[in-house]
Amino acid sequence: MLQMIVLGIICGLLLGFVLQRGRFCVVGAYRDLLIAKDGRMFLATFIVIAIQSVGVYVLRDTGIIQFGNDGFPWLGTILGGFIFGIGMVLAGGCATGTWYRAGEGMIGSWVALFGYMLGAAMTKYGVWKATGDHLVSYRTSDTYIHETLNVSPWLLVIVLIIIVGILVIREFKKPKLPMFKMKPKKTGLAHILFEKRWHPFVTALLVGLIAIVAWPLSAMTGRMFGLGITTPSANILTFLITGDDALIDWGTFLVLGIFLGAFIAAKGSGEFRWRLPDMKTLRNNAFGGMIMGFGASIAGGCTIGNGLVNSALFAWQGWVAIVFFLLGTWVAAYFTIIRKQKSSSASKAA
């Protein structure tokens, strides 16, 4: 148990610190791609996938870890991914973003986090379990893309690295926009850790490395998977209600570590403060969090478990989920942001 606690907390602390300082949130990446036409953070998510894909297949080929082969739950992934995408926008953050923003003192994220934990627990263990089990029962026999194509996974790894590498080089060749820089108050390592603005690609590199390390750390405690947010979040709430300590594993301490790591980063950078949004936003946070928990549960993972981890394994579930995360995010962004902007512009023009 001590090993589980220490390894989970350490990995979570690192991840939470990096996520908070790098402002790495997947819903922001998806939303910015549509609204601001800014694809840097979206590309950063694929940097994480590419880096992790190299690491996990090296670990697999050396026998340190192994992957499951449970088929592709296509219906649950499609519906759950779309619902999760809508929930992300309403909740104001993805699953991991909600955890780290709660560590910054955002009350709306606390509300969204509780809704997320509740929705996931209800789907995995409660009144929505029958529905969730039915949806995920529709599955194909092939789990992985390379399995279907009958090629080595390393071929897909190489192709992904080349594509991501080309896009990163193109991004760096773009002219840099002038940025206002405040005079630094800290120096040395303190400046880098708590004050300097982190480039999205640097953050992605660090997240990718942490995602690789998560696999053997988790495997050492008997849990054969990498980063995961949904099941540990559901397990925390269910454990608090039932007292069933069988629900506590490495992933539980990972998510608690994310919260603590984000808190440390926010306090060190002076970004921690309690912030209470208006009642309408709180309502959206609660509802968004709950359907986000439901969606992630039937999709087999959130934007971390599916969008970064299963995609790095080249599982069909991960890549199809990304598509429907995007669609759900864009639909919700249209009705909550874009349509209001168009209506406001039309009113001013009139």
Using the predicted structure, report yes or no on whether residue 115 has a pLDDT greater than 90.
yes
Residues 13-43 have pLDDT tens digits of 999 999 999 999 888 888 888 777 888 999 9
Structure tokens that stand for 229 in this block: 């947010």
Q: Which residue has the higher pLDDT, 253 or 186?
A: 253
The confidence score (pLDDT) of residue 45 equals: 95
Q: Where are the alpha helices (DSSP H) in 174-278?
A: 188-194, 200-219, 230-242, 250-269
Task: Using alpha carbons, select from 299, 330, 282 the residue that is nearest to residue 120.
Answer: 299
Percentage of the chain exceeding pLDDT 90: 79
Domain limits, the chain: 2-64+72-171+189-338
Confidence of residue 319 (pLDDT cuts 50, 70, 90): very high
For the segment 92-104, the average pLDDT, to the nearest whole number, is: 92
Residues 324-338 have pLDDT tens digits of 999 999 999 888 877
Tokens 């194509």 sit at which residue? Answer: 149
Using the predicted structure, report yes or no on whether residue 227 has a pLDDT greater than 90.
yes
How far is Cα 299 from Cα 18, in angstroms, rounded to an integer?
26
For the segment 207-218, the average pLDDT, to the nearest whole number, is: 97
Q: Where are the alpha helices (DSSP H) in the chain?
A: 2-22, 26-35, 40-61, 74-91, 95-102, 107-124, 129-136, 145-149, 153-173, 188-194, 200-219, 230-242, 250-269, 279-299, 311-312, 316-333, 339-349
The confidence score (pLDDT) of residue 179 equals: 58
3-state secondary structure of 134: helix
For the segment 250-256, the average pLDDT, to the nearest whole number, is: 97
Residues 132-184 have pLDDT tens digits of 999 999 999 999 999 999 999 999 999 999 999 999 999 998 887 665 566 77
